[in-house]
Amino acid sequence: MDNHSLLSLTVALLGFLSPCLTRLTPRVSFPMGSPGRHLTHFSSHDVSNTTTLLLSEDGDMLYVGARDAVLALDVSHKDAIILRSKLDWSPSEKDLEQCSMKGKKMADCPNFIRVLQFLNTTHIYGCGTFAFSPRCTYINSETLTMSLKPDEGRGRCPYDPYQRNTAIIVDGELYTGTVADYRGNRPVISRHLSEGRRVDLKLDDTLGWLEDPTFISSSVIPDEEKIYFFFSEVGREYDFIDKFIVSRVSQICMSDVGGQRTLQRRWTTFAKAQLLCQADNELPYNVIQDIDTLPPAEGAPADDTLFYGIFTSQWSVNSGRSAVCSFRLTDIKSVFSGNYKVLNRDTLQWSTRVQEKVANPGECGLHNASDNALRFVKENFLADDSVRPVGRSLTMVSAEHNYSHLTVQRVQAANNRDYTVLFLLTESGYMHKAVLLQSGAHIIEEVQVFEQPQPIKSLKLSIPKGMLYVGTSDGVVRVPTANCSFYWTCPQCVLARDPFCGWDPASRACVAASNTQTSLGQDIDRGNVEEACNSVSLTHRARFGPNKLPAASCPAGELVSVSLNEVVRLQCPAASRLSQQLWERPNSRLSPDLYLHLEDGSLSFVATPTTLGHYLCLSTENGYQQTMAIYQVKQKSSPVAQTPTSYTRPPARPKPTTQAEARPGSGLHTSVGPKRTETRQGKTEPTLSSRDTQVTTRQLGRNLTLWTEESGQNDSGFRDGEPLLSARAPSYLKELVVVSVLLVLCLSLLITMLLYVIRQRCRSRTAPQAGTPTSDSDRRTPVEQEALRGNQFLSKRNGQAPRSGQASGLVCNGALTGSNGHLPNTPI
């Protein structure tokens, strides 16, 4: 069996061993323009490709690198993003012409700003692609003007606007990961802007240091005096498959100044290792998409620094899935301090063999080492071991969403415990806010950031301002990290399990959590409403059951007037996407033979005397129940059909019956309460509102349309002390009498018509034929006529019935006949 067959078999086996993924469903979803989630957009007709973001330290100014321009946006206002100044930086016509002559599209020849970093307190260092001839310049951050003439940016900025790069400035020196040639074949990790005795450094051009990398991010660890680069590349150590992609972390020391003879002006501290985002018995998620650094908590050592990354897989088994893995700095350092693979320069094959260590690759201070030691680190730069994720497991994995960018924040909850919150952006234009718990990731909310899916290029988090900035090709969007005012009841605030929010019993509002508030209702780990809200009088205690609920405590609910044998469909608003709807009736069981529970949570049934009455919709989430809707299904009191009117119900915002007041500005749920009806001359007319619903159901091949109406008061409601099931059944005595009378009349009319039809048929048969009786009567003599009458008289008198064919007055074939076929005998 060759290596390729072995690999295919391994992939197949691991695919079968992969466990079923738990579906990660956002608890609340906010579509574009939802009033429950306020977003601020910035866009301009003459500004595009706003893909590079740089946020000031105080969070009041956002610098944006766009196409042919650098923008300064004032983001200190709550409801607006204001353009303060704009620096135009575009290539000349000659530069564009030369770019086109190189065979590039004119759409790719403008100056795309790809590097924006604070050089000091007064200046920004920026670089752009500049018509496939990179340029860099110094920009005054106050006036947004160029301080010096732009200089060459090779090795600092990519040539191609579609190539990913990374850049970071530390102590006035620029560290970059990009490509250093026009064709994109020379990837480099380099240092620029060095001063004094320090010199600019880059990687050695020897084959194997980097293999077709895609740079993702870079991060500085001040206590370590090291900078870490994250990228993906072709893993040459896996020689049994072509183009096998691996994710890497590499390091360099900021104190490195290169070797004296060997590795002059080259890194002597470069080392790289594989990042392995993989769970046990599963295929690895081997392609890194984005990564962010979470500094250690206050007072914790630097080794507790965490790196959270998004990974995808090149295997078809994991196609369409995104995984999040976290890596601890102490594990990365441990891998770099271990053994290293050996590269055979003749065969370009990696091997692992125990050898004498001449030097420790990746160790700072090697610039003073011997040539023999520098040659050792030059050929041994790939760590033998891989960096495993924290807990040797995936932080979270999603089979429904392809995540492209993330940022991470540590949040202190009301119980003074720290929680990690991830902000993840999907390729379809949604932002997911997830909190990491011991039981797994919990997605608090989903916010649609862009109406049309588009590639997202940059993501910046302002922790002091509590804002998230997203940069794309069309503009910049600002998203608040917290949305506490949306949860307008204590149960909803607790069930959200948002570390940013807690329920304040004094103001009866869900407010932002802070260290000064210790009495906030909050339970991030379990979401226990009972304990967090001290809910003694919550309605989920008052459940329907025998001797549990007096009739007086049951509100009239929403009135639904129906006719018998009509199909009824009762809607039930969901408290969240994680809740389950449950229907109940007072002291009655919902038999599956009579009721149909639909997928959207609604209840459908046929209106009969048995199914009339009250219905309650209950929402259950995390062990907590609340009443979402109450309906009273009642037979129509008037036989006059109501005029149908088409109207639809907007997305409902359920309000639990435990709260007496509603808070404005929530936007997602709608209060389910009774509506009033207007009565005019004994006829009830529903007052139409946005909560009325038209329900169309198909039954026995016919479309039945039911219009529901709502009433605030029910005239025939339950009396105090009367059990709920003691509602009197309607009397049909009068209707029975009326139907019986009508039935008798109909039968009488039917019999009369039948007799009339029979009589008419007999007369038509006994009537003389046209012309015959008249002519015969005219030919008889008076004596014959008298004799004929006398014969008939004698027949009747003797009690004899006339026979067929005799002279009895019957007409047969249009002639009177006797026994001999002639006239009957007459007395002489």
Q: Per DSSP, what are the bridge partners of residue 582?
A: 618
Contact 434, 446 (CB under 8 A): no
> Tokens 């009301």 correspond to what residue?
414
pLDDT of amino acid 354:
63
- Taking Cα atoms as reference points, which of 137, 69, 130 lies closest to residue 96? 130
- CA 777, CA 796: separation in Å to the nearest integer? 22
What does pLDDT average to in each consecutive run of 10 residues of the chain (828 residues)? 43 42 85 92 92 94 96 94 96 94 92 96 96 96 91 94 95 95 90 91 83 95 93 88 90 93 92 93 91 94 96 82 96 94 80 77 88 90 95 92 95 92 93 95 94 81 95 92 94 95 92 78 92 59 39 66 95 92 88 91 94 93 92 79 38 40 38 36 35 35 33 36 38 76 89 88 58 43 45 41 38 37 37
d(CA 607, CA 568) in angstroms, rounded, equals 6
241-263 b/e with 16+ CB inside 10 Å = b? eeeebbbbbbbbbbebbbbeebb
Please report the pLDDT score of residue 639 as a whole number: 54
Nearest to 189 by CA among 97, 282, 253, 110: 253
What does the pLDDT look like over 629-658, one tens digit per residue? 999 999 987 554 444 333 334 444 444 444
Query: Would strands 382-387 and 271-275 be described as parallel, antiparallel, or unpaired?
Result: parallel
Burial of 31 (0-12, 13-18, 19+ CB in 10 A): middle
Q: At 99, phi and psi to the nearest 5?
A: -65, -40
Confirm if 152 and 138 have CB atoms less than 8 A apart.
no
Residue type, 113: I
What pLDDT score does 243 carry?
83
Whether the Cβ atoms of residue 494 and residue 533 lie closer than 8 Å to each other: yes
Domains, the chain: 554-734 (2.60.40.10), 783-828 (no CATH)
Q: Is 392 left (phi over 0), alpha (psi -120 to 50) or beta?
A: left
Distances (CA, A) of 395 to 279, 311, 413: 10, 11, 20
pTM for the model: 0.74
pLDDT of residue 720: 35
747: phi > 0 → left, psi -120 to 50 → alpha, else beta; which?
alpha
CA 327 – CA 305 distance, rounded (Å): 8
